[in-house]
A and B are shown apart, each in its own frame.
Chain A
């Protein structure tokens, strides 16, 4: 840019005169006067002011997250059963009878009887069953999201006062999100039954009878009986079952997010008194989102398999861009020239030039992404078990990018440049509180009436409160005043504070209250379900089908010292033996008790899964009290549900080993607790 200013003044002044007078007088006077004024003045004034300010700000943010799940499960089960039975019957009977009698007969008789019996039976069973089941499930989910923000703004302002400002905002954001989820489930089941049965039955019966009568000779009777029975049975069972089950589950989730912020601000000031202004503003914003879900599923199975994949994605993006440009320019020029014939030269030149330029640009971008997934599962059985599981997951990601540039300029070289980059990330906290209270109240009272009252009150309260508050508040201001003139401006941008507050509150309150009042005129007896008597070895396998009545029955199980009766009176004490009872719903005993003597008194109470008081077999162990004898009382679950499912109350074997007779070590190395001894004043029961 070039500025040039010049001024030239030039003066040239010339005067000449001539006077002649003739008189007869012979006077001759000659006067010649020549006056020459030559004034030259040249003034060249050049103002050349050049200023260049270059500011380059680059923000580069890169984030890459790669999450890979690789789960492989392979199960191979092979059944091979071979049965071979060979039965061979060889029965051979030979009877030889010889009668020798000397008698004279005039008769001759010869009888020959031959039995030949042959029986052959061949039975062959060839059974072959081949079952091939192939499961091929393929899930291919591809999601590709490409978000591109391309914002380009070019402002070219040219002042012929030689002020040239080039401000370039180049903001690009490139977000590439790729989800690749591959479910590959392969199940190959090959079941081959090859059953071969071959039965060969052979009966060979040979009977030969020879009778000879001689009349003139002593009669000889010879009887030969031969039974040859041969039976050969060959039975071959060959059963082979081979099951190969391979589960291959591969979760491969790749997410790559690349966010690039390139902000480039170049401000160049060239002041050369040129008044040309050109403003080019270009906004190019493009966003491309491509989401591809491809799911291919092939089922060929007699089993029911249900796979549900749900994905919910909410994306909210907001872009706000504000541009404020204020330009103020004032130019005053005053020139004055006075010239007097008094040959005085006076020249006064006042030049005042004032240029004020204020530029304020603000860019604010706010992106909120919120995704939430909530799953709830409720299962109920007739046994009165409610399971509720819930998963709440909330992720709030806020990214704020704000770039503010304020530029104020006047010729007095006042420049304000303000760039603000603020990135706020808000983390949402989620608090989930589940409180369950179960109260069981059992009261036994003797009165003169029979009253049964069951009251069940279930109260469930669920409150979900979600509060999202977004607030943006900010002040950014610059006040400037130019020199040599009343030029000023006040620019204020408000942006760049983002608050997200998310509160999830889940309150589950359950109250179960059960009150049972049993009254009896004859005895303080409580009914409970039990098996019939059996051996200690098998009582825990028995079916609970009987109702007995006992004293000190708690949670369906009598205690040591309880008296148990076959009827709701004390007339028929239960016979001695082992019995099974349960503290939970169902027909399988979880407790066995032993009655001795004839009074129906309980001597021993044991848990059916005896031998499982060992701490190593338990999980979720938490102490919640002490017994009167100072024994820690625990709630726990068995790691292996074959020992019991649900929450149990009991003690830890290693903590009561010092009590004689309380702990025995089983053949498998685990320790068991005998809850029947009086020192163990803790009841083993299912909660």
Chain B
């Protein structure tokens, strides 16, 4: 995805970005960066692999794992070029960068609550607006067509309370026919 030379290892307060020798999904031996949540290092991992953006943007159809089979249909209702898009959760920036490169949305905002991470991820496209805010506290000055909630690495972490709070926070910031998508759960909130 990103040129590895742009990414530097860093140990932040809440996260670690480290490089690992391994294989990408295509089977090539590579050195890749991964973001690790220090609070849950064994399971909250994001890697600098293109397919992580590809899958959550609905471009993996069919995938070898059917757990995201509805995403292509969900996104097919939108014209990305004219859509205002909000992505919650920055990580290494793989998903927003994939959307910018492949979907060219009219507006692409990203919010993350970790200012240190925002300051670290300097390799994003300059047209991506990165905003520091907690997902539940963000008060956007615009309405969105697509709000992608990429806040969890495991759908089992998502509770009903999470969904209710997100809905109450953003329902008034959706354009007509707008959707709140939780890709890791292969679903929308509305």
Contact = CB atoms under 8 A, between A and B. Distances in A.
Interface of A: 82-85, 532-538, 540-543, 545, 575-578, 587-588, 594-595, 608-612, 640, 642-643, 666-668
B27 A667 contact: no
Interface in B16-63: 20, 22-27, 29, 42-47, 49, 51-52, 55, 62-63
Interface residues of B, number: 36
A541 B25 contact: yes
A127 B64 CA distance: 36
8 contacts: A83-B81, A533-B42, A534-B45, A537-B184, A538-B55, A540-B64, A611-B67, A667-B187
A577 B45 contact: yes
A668 B69 contact: yes
B42 A643 contact: no
Interface string B95-133: 000000000100000000000000000000000000000
A543 to B, nearest CB: 4
Nearest to A667: B187
Nearest to B70: A668
The 4 closest A-B pairs by CB, nearest first: A642-B62, A576-B42, A540-B65, A667-B187
A668 B186 CA distance: 8
A541 B185 contact: no
Given A535-B45, A541-B49, 13 more contacts: A532-B22, A534-B45, A538-B55, A541-B63, A577-B43, A608-B64, A608-B65, A610-B65, A611-B66, A612-B66, A640-B62, A642-B62, A643-B66
A535 to B, nearest CB: 4
B104 to A, nearest CB: 5
B79 to A, nearest CB: 9
B55 A541 contact: yes
Contact of B24 (A83, A537, A543, A642): A543
B109 to A, nearest CB: 17
Residue among A537, A578, A643 with max Cβ neighbours from chain B (10 Å) = A537
B154 interface: yes
Contacts of B55: 538, 541
A612 B67 CA distance: 9
B69 A85 contact: no
A85 B154 CA distance: 36
B153 A535 contact: yes
Given A83-B81, A667-B185, A667-B186, A536 B43 contact: yes
Nearest to A606: B67
A315 to B, nearest CB: 49
B162 to A, nearest CB: 15
Given A85-B104, A535-B44, A668-B70, A541 B154 contact: no
B72 to A, nearest CB: 12
B70 A667 contact: yes
A538 B26 contact: no
Contacts of A587: 27
B57 to A, nearest CB: 14
Contacts of B20: 532
